[in-house]
């Protein structure tokens, strides 16, 4: 685990999934004060929200440092999002591609709103870093997960609030196999097992059977990425070694 620590405080966008849990571990290894924020936007897979408290409690047990650094959790009602758009993430409809080339799991404006609300809370809480699990290596082409979007948003937020917030996206340039590896580097096999057994990624909200890679339907895009990444991780199939 990297013991180099920044004295700044960080707010992690924490959904209860694999990526956000890895990002939380990443922040806990770097910042002396870490808080979390989650959003209820009417998502189909809301099971991840019910799992968040136990998952946060479990993260505290993995390291005395993490226990000391992990602070308050904030749950925000953003049900407005589900009222504004009809997507496979908020309604019981089949997952498919749209005419614009994006899957209908894309929720327009979601990450933009998430980051704006998180920045507002960070302002009030005196936190100077926002950490999100956005990635444009293994992703579905969502435009609000791209590095250019996050850089532009950081500029806009700081101009609009006269702040110097940093938006950190530690997973931006790594794939799912490397994300599993990063978790191992940050918290050892205990963190890998916590992510495997206690996080939730499945778009359909399936919990049920515990597969080698975790819980889920096994067929939706999120499960497919997670399962393939775990297999590559277990087989040592990654091209770079992401720094922890």
For 53-87, the pLDDT digits (tens) are: 999 999 999 999 999 999 999 999 887 766 666 55
Instruction: Tell me what pLDDT residue 155 has.
Output: 97
Please indicate, yes or no, if residue 182 is contained in any of the structural domains.
yes
When pLDDT is averaged across residues 203-222 and rounded to a whole number, the result is: 88
Q: Kindly tell me if the per-residue pLDDT of 124 is higher than 90.
A: yes
Please indicate, yes or no, if residue 244 is contained in any of the structural domains.
no
Please indicate, yes or no, if residue 242 is contained in any of the structural domains.
no
Instruction: Tell me what pLDDT residue 188 has.
Output: 97
Instruction: Tell me what pLDDT residue 96 has.
Output: 47
Structural domain harbouring 75 = 6-234
Contact 74, 120 (CB under 8 A): no
Which H/E stretch holds residue 23?
helix 18-28
Which H/E stretch holds residue 239?
none
Instruction: Tell me what pLDDT residue 110 has.
Output: 81
Q: How far is CA 135 from the centre of its chain?
A: 9
* Rounded Cα–Cα distance for residues 10 and 126 (Å): 9
Please indicate, yes or no, if residue 241 is contained in any of the structural domains.
no
Closest CA to 44 of 93, 85, 78, 80: 93
Please indicate, yes or no, if residue 243 is contained in any of the structural domains.
no
Instruction: Tell me what pLDDT residue 157 has.
Output: 97
Instruction: Tell me what pLDDT residue 154 has.
Output: 97
Please indicate, yes or no, if residue 1 is contained in any of the structural domains.
no
pLDDT one-digit tens code per residue, 8-43: 899 999 999 999 999 999 999 999 999 999 998 777
Instruction: Tell me what pLDDT residue 241 has.
Output: 47
Domain count, the chain: 1
Please indicate, yes or no, if residue 176 is contained in any of the structural domains.
yes
| CATH number, domain with residue 20 | 3.40.50.620
Instruction: Tell me what pLDDT residue 4 has.
Output: 58
Instruction: Tell me what pLDDT residue 85 has.
Output: 63
Please indicate, yes or no, if residue 239 is contained in any of the structural domains.
no
Q: Are strands 210-211 and 214-215 parallel, antiparallel or unpaired?
A: antiparallel
Residue carrying the six token digits 């990063």: 182
Give the model's confidence band at 1: pLDDT under 50 very low, under 70 low, under 90 confident, else very high: very low
Q: Kindly tell me if the per-residue pLDDT of 153 is higher than 90.
A: yes
């Amino acid at each position: 685990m990297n013991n180099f620590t920044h004295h700044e405080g960080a707010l992690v966008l924490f959904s209860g999934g694999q990526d956000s849990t890895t990002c939380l571990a990443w922040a806990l290894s770097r910042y002396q004060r870490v808080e979390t924020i989650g959003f209820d936007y009417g998502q189909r897979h809301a099971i991840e929200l019910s799992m968040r408290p136990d998952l946060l409690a479990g993260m505290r047990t993995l390291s005395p440092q993490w226990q000391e650094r992990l602070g308050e959790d904030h749950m925000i009602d953003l049900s407005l999002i589900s009222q504004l758009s009809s997507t496979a993430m908020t309604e019981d409809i089949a997952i498919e591609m749209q005419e614009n080339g994006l899957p209908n799991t894309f929720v327009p404006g979601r990450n933009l709103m998430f980051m704006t609300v998180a920045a507002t809370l960070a302002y009030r809480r005196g936190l100077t870093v926002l950490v999100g699990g956005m990635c444009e290596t293994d992703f579905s082409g969502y435009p609000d997960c791209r590095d250019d979007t996050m850089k532009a948003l950081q500029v806009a937020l700081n101009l609009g609030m006269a702040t110097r917030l940093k938006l950190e996206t530690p997973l931006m340039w790594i794939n799912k196999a490397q994300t599993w590896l990063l978790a191992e580097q940050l918290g050892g096999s205990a963190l890998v097992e916590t992510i495997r057994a206690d996080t939730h990624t499945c778009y359909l909200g399936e919990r049920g059977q515990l597969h080698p890679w975790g819980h889920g339907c096994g067929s939706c895009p999120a499960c497919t990425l997670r399962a393939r990444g775990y297999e590559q991780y277990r087989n040592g199939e990654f091209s770079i070694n992401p720094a922890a």
